[in-house]
Homo-oligomer: A and B are copies of this chain.
Amino acid sequence: MGARDRTGLRQVPVRSVGVDLEAVRTFVAVADAGRFREAGAELSLTQQAVSKRIAGLEKDLGARLFTRTARGAQLTVDGRVFLPHARELLRAEERAAASVRPGRRALRVDVIGRGLAPAGLLRDFHRAHPEAQLDVVTHFLDADAAIDAVRAGTIDASFRAVTTPARHLPDGIEAVRVHDEPLQLLTGPAHEFADTRAVTPAALAGHRIWMPGIVTGTEWAAYYDELALAFGLTIDATGPNFGLEPLLDMIADSPALATFVGEGTRFVWPADYDLRRIPVHDPTPAYPHSLIWHGDNPHPQLAALRAYLESAQPGQRDAETWTPKWAQR
């Protein structure tokens, strides 16, 4: 950076700017009204207070935002550039406040992971209802913890596999199966099944399936336990979960290791390695996602979400689908 400043204003020493949101709000009001006094009236402020706020904001930013004329305030070029950022800042404030606003906060939905199928359903829902304020939450260990949170009203809904019979769910808790997600085998290019078009679960017996990070006691542990039992699979769930990267790393290089992924799982991966997704058929193991919510929850977007999921159910399970006993209807 040169010492000379092409904007004509002297360059201030590096000072992390602390912008005052009230000043920003005032700035937007003045930009809209065109006059300090009128903007002040909207904010229940005197003209002098508005003048001070704007002056303070200009000093904080180090740039002139308005040219003061005898007939009002006109935006400078800096002001015009700043204006959309100011509006975005206020929108971000509104969204932030809406995320925790008691009584009518944004819809808060729990999912297992951000890359898995339920998160995709939520993305689609948000596309269909852009006006809906939505917060996706991922920090509950298992279905029971999520159900507790739903019961307490901490979250509004949860996508989970429900291992409990409906009649044993806590009072008021409702659950509806919304998506049966076919499983696929994920292998590296050197794996025996890398180039086959499909495998059967039975053919996987004896092969090592590695799924680190599965926590005992969770509903997905229950799912994979029963899956392994049903088809004589070797599902290795030991070892700490180092995250997705080391797992894919191992699988990509290994001729023997493979793992299961849901059909709807999206990797956000730089190179995507050279991983193969092999469909599993005859029967197709499917992971049963249910939406869980509280019947008394009056959140309007909750009803919208339920309606959306009901209308947009993609390929459901057929006769060739396998699900655990506790998920069979």
* Copies per assembly: 2
Known contacts A1-B298, A86-B96, A93-B19: does B101 contact A8 (CB below 8 Å)? no
Q: Is the CB–CB distance between B21 and A298 below 8 Å?
A: no
Q: CB of A61 within 8 A of chain B? A: yes
Q: A18-B21, A19-B93, A21-B18 are in contact. Are A137 and B81 (CB under 8 A)?
A: yes
**Residues of B contacting A22 with CB < 8 Å?**
18
Question: Do A135 and B81 touch across chains, with their CB atoms under 8 A apart?
Answer: yes
Q: Does A6 contact B (CB under 8 A)?
A: yes
Interfacial chain B residues near A102, Cβ < 8 Å: 5, 7, 9-12, 62-63
Please name all residues of chain B whose beta carbon is closer than 8 Å to the beta carbon of A25 when the two chains form the complex: 18
Residues in chain B near residue A155, CB distance under 8 A: 77
| B100, A19: Cβ atoms closer than 8 Å | no
B103 touches A1 (CB 8 A): yes
Which of B62, B82, B93, B149 contacts A77 (CB under 8 A)? B149
- CA distance in complex: A75, B116 (Å): 25
A169 within 8 A of B: no
Q: Give the interface centre of A1, A5, A100, A155 by most chain B CB atoms within 10 Å.
A: A100
A89 within 8 A of partner (CB) = yes
A108 on the interface (CB 8 Å rule)? yes
In addition to A81-B100, A85-B95, A89-B89, 17 A-B residue pairs with Cβ atoms within 8 Å of each other are A5-B102, A7-B153, A7-B154, A10-B102, A11-B103, A18-B21, A61-B100, A61-B101, A62-B100, A77-B149, A77-B155, A80-B139, A81-B99, A88-B92, A88-B96, A89-B92, A89-B93
